[in-house]
């Protein structure tokens, strides 16, 4: 019974993280996620649906050895959490997807904090440019609301 309560609490927490991250553009810019690529061998069977993962706005940054080690540690911890969620048979697919998205956003936020202020500024600039491009492309496509 306590496992079930724990799973529900984690699902609610992950859903809250997901909703709070999507609550506004200003907040999203301040905690923009770092896209860390995982090999197919370490990915869980269940993956978030749709556009849950943003493009890699961190590509091309020059990381220090300490940054690389910290980001790798964060990534490994997140992957183990995702694997546990994927194996949890008490969760529905929607709950699993919400938790995976939440863990991904948490990973990106933690990794973003590892970056230097200059690297964070570069990532924010890329995010603003990408969002402007997405908005422009949506305006070009009629009938899409």
φ, ψ dihedrals at 37, nearest 5°: -80, 135
100 found inside a domain: yes
46 contact partners, CB below 8 Å, separation of at least 6 = 85, 86, 93, 96, 97, 100
Q: How sure is the predictor about 56, in pLDDT bands with cuts at 50, 70 and 90?
A: confident
Number of H helices, E strands in the chain: 5, 0
10 in any annotated domain: yes
Q: What is the pLDDT of residue 35?
A: 42
Whether residue 49 lies inside any domain: the answer is no
Confidence of residue 141 (pLDDT cuts 50, 70, 90): confident
- φ, ψ at 25 (rounded to 5°): -65, -35
Whether residue 114 is contained in a domain is answered as: yes
* Residue 78 within any structural domain of the chain: yes
Q: Say whether pLDDT at 9 is over 80.
A: no
pLDDT one-digit tens code per residue, 74-125: 999 999 999 999 999 999 999 999 999 999 999 989 999 999 999 999 999 9
Counting the structural domains of the chain, the total is 1
Domain that includes residue 80, residue range: 2-34+58-137
With respect to residue 142, please indicate whether it lies within any of the assigned structural domains: no
End-to-end, the C-alpha distance of the chain in Å comes to 44
- Please check whether residue 145 lies inside any domain of the structure: no
The tokens describing 45, both together, are 């069977």
Whether the per-residue pLDDT at 26 is higher than 60: the answer is no
Examine residue 41 and state whether it is found in any structural domain, yes or no: no
Q: What is the mean pLDDT of the chain?
A: 74
pLDDT band at 60 (very low <50, low <70, confident <90, very high): confident
């Amino acid at each position: 019974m306590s496992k079930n309560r724990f799973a529900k609490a984690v699902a609610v927490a992950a859903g809250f993280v997901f909703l709070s991250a999507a609550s506004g553009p200003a907040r999203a810019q301040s905690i923009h996620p770092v896209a860390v690529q995982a090999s197919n061998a370490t990915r869980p069977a269940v993956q978030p649906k749709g556009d849950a993962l943003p493009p890699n706005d961190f590509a091309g940054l020059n990381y220090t050895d300490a940054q690389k080690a910290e980001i790798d540690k964060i990534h490994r911890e997140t992957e183990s959490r995702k694997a546990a969620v994927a194996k949890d048979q008490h969760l529905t697919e929607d709950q699993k997807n919400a938790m995976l998205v939440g863990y991904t956003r948490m990973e990106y936020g933690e990794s973003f904090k590892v970056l230097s202020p200059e690297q964070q500024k570069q990532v924010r600039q890329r995010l603003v440019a990408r969002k402007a491009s997405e908005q422009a492309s949506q305006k070009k496509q009629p009938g899409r609301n």
